[in-house]
Amino acid sequence: MTALHRKLLRDLYQLRGQMAAIALVMVGGIGTMVMALSNYHALSDTRALYYDEYRFAEVFATAKRAPLPLVEAIRGIPGVREVEPRVTGFANLEVEGYDEPVTGQIVSLPGPGDPGLNRLYLRQGRVPLTDGEVVVSEAFAEAQGLRMGDSLVAILNGRRQALLISGVGLSPEFVYQIRPGDFFPDFKRFAVLWMARDPLAMAFDMDGAFNDLAITLTREAREADVIDALDALLAPYGGTGAHGRDLQTSHRFLDEELGQLRVMTYLFTTIFLGVAAFLLNIVTGRLVGAQREQIAVLKAFGYSRWEIGRHYAELVLLLVSAGVLPGLALGAWLGRGMAGIYMDFYRFPFLEWSLPIPVVVLAFGFALAAAALGTFGGLRRAFVLPPAEAMRPEAPAVFRRTLTERLGLGALLDPTARMILRNLERRPLRSLMSVLGIGLGIGIMVMSRFQSGAIDEMVDVQFGFAQRDDLAVTFTEPTSWRASEELAALPGVRAIEPFRHAAVRLRHGHREYRTSLQGLPAGADLKRVLDDRLRPAELPQDGLLLTDYLADLLDVRPGEELEVEFLQGHRRTVRVPVVGTVREYLGVGAYARREVVNRLLDEGAAISGAWLALVPGARQEVLRELRRLPRVAAVTDRAAMVQSFRDTMAEGILKFTLIATLMAGSIAVGVVYNASRITLAERGRELASLRVLGYTRGEVRALLLGELFMLTFLALLPGFVFGFGMAAVLVIGFESDLYRVPLAIAPSGLAFAGLAVLVATALSGLLVRRRLDELDLVAVLKAAE
């Protein structure tokens, strides 16, 4: 080991406090980055592997009832590789000991020996062998505590049937297990069941027919062409339009989630890179400043600029690596934990988790980039410092009267305050950087609080203000108006608002979007549409209202016409004017009066379901009655759904907020502690002189801590601005047709962030206080200037 290396190690030891502060930020930054990246890779790798091994289909189509021989024609479409005709349907389920309405989506399994598509992964048990056996989805089984050998009752097409659970399974088709049209998963109230094809076909009158297709394509196939050919073949049989994976519910949500993870990764990485670079900049700048004479001596004795540059570069590298390895470890650990949380929402049979080499390389690259950015200035100074000049002490700093004093307010300041202000003003750039660094910490905290607040706001608006029903009832198919009278007559039903929903394809120019056209009663009160200021809006006499985000997607303005292609009934295509836009946070849709939808569909007063308001205490009775109605396909309990969502989200959000708060706290402590150590190092002599002159410990402390708190107070406002900015980046990054997150930050979030950073400041103040109290008065005054 050369003498220079020894110097390196001893300097590092000397700098251990600041090194720990930098390492803290680096660990936070690299940890977050590795966590997000490894989690992202884990999810996308797992998904890819799962899709591949369990043969996830590429094109999906449904029809009302198509004859099985049609499958041969579909196989003949150029580009189609495999076709699996299936029977699917919805049924109400009864689970023993559970009174709530449960909806099941039942999917047929291919016959024995046929590998089929969207293959089942059996976690437990075996595939159904007899007519009364089913495999249930894992999420549902777990939520309901069901196991192989248990049984449940399904109302299949109006007939009650007891089903024996032969196994518990998963499928790539239902990684995100959510009821079509819902926004949140509710594992307790929505199940996926797999049954043998024949009994299911019998139950749904699909003998010799199918109503659902899963298709894979050849390598050279063009998806759009296959979809067009498929639509043409299925149209006579009530086809509702084929689509690719991009519109497959589970896949879409998963895609959206992965996209968000990417946004978060970029955002967090940038922030931490910035802060780490900033800290390194200060520390190396300070180090080079303090070692001017040592650098000069080395140069005088013939060490070249490169050797000295390398010496300090090595120092920085070691400083940085102290953060990289623990950061990698922490990130890997958190990433694994995070993937575990995701596995609660996204059901994979296995987790393909590893720490990809590129992520490790990236982490090091990231650290090096931060180091290079941050230390370039300091290293450059060490590099170019002329040896003779370095032998002279640094020119004394220039002090000026502060702005406050120049404004004539100096009389208001006591000497301590004056010294604090002058010191901050002496190094405006560094003070600014410290303020910005602390501000970033505050910003991250504001942002982490923003997430849970925004989700609350979304849920409150959508399910408290727009939608206010107690139960939503959906019929198996569009039904005559009389059905609503039947519902209204049920004891316990206070009000009823029947609706007509229809699957449509909206087209404007070359843009199109598949959604549901929702026909609501005029003056609806249980489901309201909201204007851009979230006030209830009237439905127009004629024409449509579009979600503002959808209007943007279709590039259509109020007053223009939209082509509406119905994917059911007579499959009419009509042109309808867009009258206005509405705002909603969850999903997008088109809204009109129910009569308008009926008229566009060229049908009578048909309805597809109804919203019910109940008299207090009547819920169980109404649910019992509804179960008896054969036409009722599904019953959704809004309050229960929201509650279940909150329960599921709560844990994840809590963990996320905790992690983000710790990270933000580490940034704040890192910056503040460094600022204080540097102040102490630069002004130790001055502070010691004050003590010699008779200042008390308390007064000297006030000087240093006052400066720290001053920096923190100055950082509050920019911190809040950063927080808003970062939240806005997230909002933009998260924006999709599935949901838009509102930019809503509660004052409590700001207060929390500010308070937490003040606590972090107090903490770092305590850390330097000891050093301050131990200032060696004699030694400081004796040292050569």
69 binds another protein (CB under 8 A): no
300 binds another protein (CB under 8 A): yes
Which of residues 293 and 538 has its CB atom nearest to another protein in the complex? Answer: 293
Instruction: Kindly give the pairing relationship between strand 243-244 and strand 471-479.
Output: unpaired
How many CA within 13 A on the CB side of residue 97? 5
400 binds another protein (CB under 8 A): no
Distance CA 577, CA 616 (A): 41
Which of residues 30 and 775 has its CB atom nearest to another protein in the complex? Answer: 775
Closest CA relative to residue 320, chosen from 357, 283, 295? 283
Smallest separation, CB 283 to another protein (Å): 16
309 binds another protein (CB under 8 A): no
**8 Å CB contact between 518 and 591:** yes
Which of residues 658 and 777 has its CB atom nearest to another protein in the complex? Answer: 777
**8 Å CB contact between 563 and 507:** yes
DSSP string, 401-426: --HHIIIIIGGGS-HHHHHHHHHHHH
Which of residues 391 and 759 has its CB atom nearest to another protein in the complex? Answer: 391
Residues facing 612 on adjacent strands: 471, 496
Smallest separation, CB 297 to another protein (Å): 5
Which of residues 302 and 616 has its CB atom nearest to another protein in the complex? Answer: 302
654 binds another protein (CB under 8 A): no
DSSP H or E segment with residue 132: none
How many CA within 13 A on the CB side of residue 424? 25
Which of residues 11 and 707 has its CB atom nearest to another protein in the complex? Answer: 11
296 binds another protein (CB under 8 A): yes
Smallest separation, CB 439 to another protein (Å): 35
293 binds another protein (CB under 8 A): yes
Binding another protein (rule: CB under 8 A), the pick from 301, 616, 770, 774 is 301
DSSP string, 297-351: HHHHTT--HHHHHHHHHHHHHHHHHHHHHHHHHHHHHHHHHHHHHHHHHB--SS-
For 375, phi then psi, to 5°, come to: -105, -5
Q: How many amino acids of this chain bind another protein (CB under 8 A)? A: 26
Distance CA 281, CA 25 (A): 13
> Per CB under 8 A, which region of 221-229, 300-308, 403-411, 478-486 contacts another protein?
300-308
Provide CB contacts within 8 A for 208, sequence distance 6+.
67, 68, 201
Residues facing 566 on adjacent strands: 504
How many other C-beta atoms lie within 10 A of the C-beta of residue 208?
9
Reading the block at residue 563, the tokens are 């082509």
Distance CA 638, CA 470 (A): 6
398 binds another protein (CB under 8 A): no
Binding another protein (rule: CB under 8 A), the pick from 53, 232, 304, 628 is 304
Which of residues 162 and 388 has its CB atom nearest to another protein in the complex? Answer: 388
Smallest separation, CB 287 to another protein (Å): 12
> Per CB under 8 A, which region of 296-304, 405-413, 449-457, 557-565 contacts another protein?
296-304
Which residue is it, tokens 């049908």?
603
132 binds another protein (CB under 8 A): no
Distance CA 344, CA 647 (A): 12
Reading the block at residue 664, the tokens are 């933000």
386 binds another protein (CB under 8 A): yes
Which of residues 3 and 224 has its CB atom nearest to another protein in the complex? Answer: 3
Distance CA 276, CA 671 (A): 9
Binding another protein (rule: CB under 8 A), the pick from 129, 224, 357, 784 is 784
> Per CB under 8 A, which region of 5-13, 87-95, 408-416, 765-773 contacts another protein?
5-13
Which of residues 298 and 316 has its CB atom nearest to another protein in the complex? Answer: 298
Which of residues 289 and 725 has its CB atom nearest to another protein in the complex? Answer: 289
Distance CA 312, CA 314 (A): 5
Binding another protein (rule: CB under 8 A), the pick from 55, 305, 336, 514 is 305
266 binds another protein (CB under 8 A): no
Smallest separation, CB 774 to another protein (Å): 16
Binding another protein (rule: CB under 8 A), the pick from 216, 294, 657, 689 is 294
Smallest separation, CB 301 to another protein (Å): 5
4 binds another protein (CB under 8 A): yes
> Per CB under 8 A, which region of 1-9, 120-128, 228-236, 733-741 contacts another protein?
1-9
How many other C-beta atoms lie within 10 A of the C-beta of residue 592?
25
> Per CB under 8 A, which region of 348-356, 382-390, 528-536, 747-755 contacts another protein?
382-390
Report the interhelical angle of 638-692 vs 249-290 (nearest 10°).
0
387 binds another protein (CB under 8 A): yes
Smallest separation, CB 2 to another protein (Å): 5
407 binds another protein (CB under 8 A): no
Which of residues 654 and 783 has its CB atom nearest to another protein in the complex? Answer: 783
For 93, phi then psi, to 5°, come to: -115, 150
Which of residues 305 and 418 has its CB atom nearest to another protein in the complex? Answer: 305
Which of residues 14 and 748 has its CB atom nearest to another protein in the complex? Answer: 14
DSSP H or E segment with residue 395: none
**8 Å CB contact between 645 and 459:** yes
Closest CA relative to residue 519, chosen from 462, 643, 603? 603
777 binds another protein (CB under 8 A): no
Closest CA relative to residue 119, chosen from 216, 38, 26? 216
Binding another protein (rule: CB under 8 A), the pick from 232, 388, 605, 728 is 388
Smallest separation, CB 5 to another protein (Å): 10
Give the per-residue contact string, 13-32, with another protein (x = CB under 8 A; - = no).
-x------------------
Which of residues 139 and 295 has its CB atom nearest to another protein in the complex? Answer: 295
Binding another protein (rule: CB under 8 A), the pick from 286, 299, 500, 740 is 299
Distance CA 515, CA 223 (A): 20
Smallest separation, CB 386 to another protein (Å): 8
CA 174 from chain centre, in angstroms, equals 20
776 binds another protein (CB under 8 A): no
Distance CA 276, CA 272 (A): 6
* Exposure class string for 441-458: b at 16+ Cβ within 10 A, else e: bbbbbbbbbbbbbbbbbb
297 binds another protein (CB under 8 A): yes
Which residue is it, tokens 């926004």?
183
Reading the block at residue 136, the tokens are 């249930």
DSSP string, 270-292: HHHHHHHHHHHHHHHHHHHHHTH
Distance CA 560, CA 63 (A): 32
Smallest separation, CB 9 to another protein (Å): 8
Which of residues 9 and 522 has its CB atom nearest to another protein in the complex? Answer: 9
Residues that bind another protein (CB under 8 A): 2-4, 6-7, 10-11, 14, 293-294, 296-305, 307, 386-388, 391, 784
